Amino acid sequence: GQQLNQSPQSMFIQEGEDVSMNCTSSSIFNTWLWYKQDPGEGPVLLIALYKAGELTSNGRLTAQFGITRKDSFLNISASIPSDVGIYFCACQNYGGSQGNLIFGKGTKLSVKP
Amino acid sequence: EAQVTQNPRYLITVTGKKLTVTCSQNMNHEYMSWYRQDPGLGLRQIYYSMNVEVTDKGDVPEGYKVSRKEKRNFPLILESPSPNQTSLYFCASSLSSPPGTGELFFGEGSRLTVL
């Protein structure tokens, strides 16, 4: 099946540092999404991107939908301890018959106070 | 409170002993799905359901069954569990079917260990 390449797999950073992670695909998608999974919980949607080139912010988080529709990045500025968790990118071609979101393998973020 | 509820949250069982993980949502969502999460493999879809009595295989359906007799419930059945089904399982739902905006609401997860 289709796969997303998400990198890095893990990051260990100091509080206050900026973070960048990205996701690439060999296929074109209509929608790119970023989810965060806090320890011991289910993933929660952070940002949704629906248009190639779109740049969207949510507080300290910024994500962009690549112009080729095959990639996306997520940046976190001035990280804080509660940013710890696993970040997943996900893709979808909405309107398709299958209804599947395809998830990346995740980026595990650790923040040292 | 709007939520997706899974039970049990934790279970240790033995090979071959049938088990069911229940999932219920109170948001009147049409779309429901099951995922398993394994280290280094991310979230992989097991089965999904577009509506009542409509289910379909995801990427890793082997060894699992599901049913969607009511809109709110989507149980995951392991008829004869094996150790390779030891995993963290998530149920998720979405208002639209397929999830047009991409927003899935996830349960808190069920950690299953098969000995």
CA A99 to CA B22: how far, in whole Å? Answer: 22
Cα-based torsion angle of the residue sequence A26, A28, A29, A35 in order, rounded to the nearest 10 degrees: 30
CA A97 to CA B38: how far, in whole Å? Answer: 27
Provide the pLDDT for residue A7: 96
Provide the pLDDT for residue A98: 52
Regarding predicted confidence, which is higher, A93 or A47?
A47
Amino acid at B9: R
Are residues B102 and A45, on separate chains, in Cβ contact within 8 Å?
A: yes
Which chain B residues contact residue A45 at CB under 8 A?
102-104
CA A4 to CA B24: how far, in whole Å? Answer: 29
Tokens at B92, concatenated: 């998720």
* pLDDT value at B43 more than 70: yes
pLDDT band at A19 (very low <50, low <70, confident <90, very high): very high
pLDDT band at B44 (very low <50, low <70, confident <90, very high): very high
H or E segment at B11? strand B10-13
Q: What is the mean pLDDT of residues B34-51?
A: 93
**What mean pLDDT value characterizes chain B?**
94
HSE value, Cβ hemisphere, 13 Å, CA-based, for B3: 8
Provide the pLDDT for residue B55: 95
pLDDT band at A99 (very low <50, low <70, confident <90, very high): low
Q: Are residues A109 and A86 in contact, defined by beta-carbon separation less than 8 angstroms? A: yes
- Which residue from A minimizes the CA distance to B3? A42
Provide the pLDDT for residue A94: 61
Q: Are residues B96 and B31 in contact, defined by beta-carbon separation less than 8 angstroms? A: yes
Q: What is the mean pLDDT of residues A15-30?
A: 94
Are residues B98 and A1, on separate chains, in Cβ contact within 8 Å?
A: no
CA B98 to CA A91: how far, in whole Å? Answer: 13
* pLDDT value at A1 more than 70: no
